[in-house]
Copies of this chain bind each other. A is one copy, B any other.
Amino acid sequence: MARTISVELAGFTGLFRDLEEYVVSLDRVLSRIGAGEDPRILLEYVVEYGLPSRLAQAREFVGDSLERVIGAEALEEIAEQVEAYRDKK
């Protein structure tokens, strides 16, 4: 059996709610941009719906749960390996 981790149910449910919202919203926003709307509506969505801080909160929740099992060092290592967006110029 695959290794599992015990996660607080309320926080995990909140995570599902957020992801459901992001998926449905992005689909709508990208459809509208595809239909000719100003790409700026994506920025408006991201800012109005508070995605930066909500995603940061979700990362804290998942990271804290994970840290209790794998330890701070292993968590740090995973975070360091992530390849985030970079300026290509």
Contact = CB atoms under 8 A, between A and B. Distances in A.
User: How many subunits of this chain does the assembly comprise?
Assistant: 2
Given A46-B42, A56-B23, A5 B2 contact: no
A16 B78 contact: yes
Contact of A28 (B7, B24, B85): B85
Contacts of A10: 2-3
Nearest to A45: B85
A33 B52 CA distance: 14
Interface string A1-31: 0111111111011011101111111111110
A71 interface: no
Contacts of A72: none
